[in-house]
């Protein structure tokens, strides 16, 4: 899932600037599951903004709304009529949701209330970790199901660097060395020789480096209406 983290209140206040009427818009999907931007977090943030602006002597009117998915037109379209009542929308969706709102409602300003952090999973309650960088050319099939693009600090494709010790990355003690994990997985299946082949340079054009990516599925497209 997409994991996000709420921006500090100071930064949000600064982004909101002189806005007096604010709609906090939560999203009911990924950011709800990671406790960063769902209905509950939208309500808590809205009330924090009301209190904070009151304390600063320039009270804001803050309402909140949560839609199931801010990244799909059909879920955000019903908001259209409400937006004219606000100076800004503060979206608690990921960056996709924020952009969807700005794109669909060009007359309204939607600001981000979250930092979209990564594609990952909850390791345990309260701890999330990155697992995928959406590089567009999945290599998990040759790295025993552990991604060195997302999990090696140097995105190495041919084994660990010299900074791996006791299974830990040189960067910080709380990063497991991805290549150590890959090697252990290979050893578990007695297939270490599969890691001995020199992997060629990666085709980064399928990643972000090729520019914004797009998928067109002709089999799914609807016939154009006359």
Partner 1 sequence: MSEASTNGYKSGSNLEKILRAGYFAVTAEIGPPQSADPEVIRRKARLLKGVVDAANITDNQTAIVRMSSIASAVLALQEGVEPIVQMTCRDRNRLAMQSDLLGAYALGARNLLCLTGDHQSFGNHPTAKNVHDLDSIQFIRMVRGMRDEGRFLCGDEIKGMRPAFFIGAAENPFADPFDFRPYRLAKKIAAGVDFIQTQIILDIPRFREFMKRVVDMGLHEKVYILAGIGPLKSAGAARYMRDKVPGMRVRDEYVERMEAAVAGIPKEDKKGRKEAWEREGIRIAIEQIQELREIPGVAGVHIMAIEWEEAVRPILEGAGLLPRPVVE
Return the number of other C-beta atoms located less than 10 Å from residue 116's C-beta.
Answer: 20
Q: With CB under 8 A as the rule, give the number of residues binding partner 1.
A: 34
Q: Pick the binder of partner 1 from 118, 135, 160, 178 (CB under 8 A).
A: 160
Residue in 8, 78, 167, 210 binding partner 1, rule: CB under 8 A: 167
Residue 6 C-beta: closest distance to partner 1, Å: 21
Among residues 62 and 177, whose Cβ is nearest to partner 1?
A: 177
By C-beta, is 99 or 155 nearer to partner 1? 155
Ramachandran angles phi, psi of 225, nearest 5°: -80, 150
Q: Which is nearer to partner 1, 33 or 156 (CB)?
A: 156
Q: How far is the CB of 221 from partner 1 (least distance, A)?
A: 35
Instruction: Identify the bridge partners of residue 122 per DSSP, sorted by sequence position.
Output: 128
Separation CA 146–CA 143 (nearest Å): 6
Judged by CB under 8 A, the residue of 17, 106, 126, 162 near partner 1 is: 162
Told to check if 199 binds partner 1 by CB under 8 A, we report yes
109 lies in the binding site for partner 1 (CB under 8 A): no
Nearer to partner 1, 47 or 191 (CB): 191
- For every residue of 170-220, DSSP letters joined together read SS-TTSB-HHHHHHHHHHHTT-GGGG-SPPPPP-GGGTGGGSS-----TTT
**Strand (E) positions, 33-179?**
61-67, 88-91, 109-112, 114-124, 127-132
């Amino acid at each position: 899932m997409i994991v996000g983290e709420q921006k500090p209140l100071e930064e949000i206040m600064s982004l909101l600037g002189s806005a007096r009427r604010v709609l906090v818009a939560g999203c009911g999907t990924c950011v709800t599951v990671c406790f960063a931007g769902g209905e509950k977090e939208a309500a808590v943030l809205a009330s924090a903004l009301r209190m904070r602006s009151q304390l600063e002597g320039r009270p804001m009117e803050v309402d909140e709304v949560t839609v199931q998915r801010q990244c799909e037109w059909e879920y955000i379209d019903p908001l259209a009529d409400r937006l004219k009542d606000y100076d800004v929308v503060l979206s608690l969706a990921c960056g996709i949701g924020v952009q969807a709102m700005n794109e669909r409602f060009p007359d309204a300003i939607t600001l981000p209330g979250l930092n979209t952090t990564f594609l990952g999973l909850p390791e345990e309650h309260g701890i999330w970790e990155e697992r995928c960088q959406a590089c567009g050319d999945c290599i998990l099939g040759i790295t025993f199901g552990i991604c060195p693009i997302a999990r090696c600090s140097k995105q190495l494709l041919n084994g660990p660097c010299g900074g791996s010790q006791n299974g830990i990355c040189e960067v910080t003690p709380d990063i497991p060395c991805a290549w150590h994990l890959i090697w252990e997985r290979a050893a578990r299946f007695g297939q270490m020789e599969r890691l001995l082949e020199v992997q060629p340079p990666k085709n980064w054009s399928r990643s972000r480096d090729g520019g914004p990516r797009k998928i067109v599925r002709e089999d799914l497209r609807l016939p154009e209406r006359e």
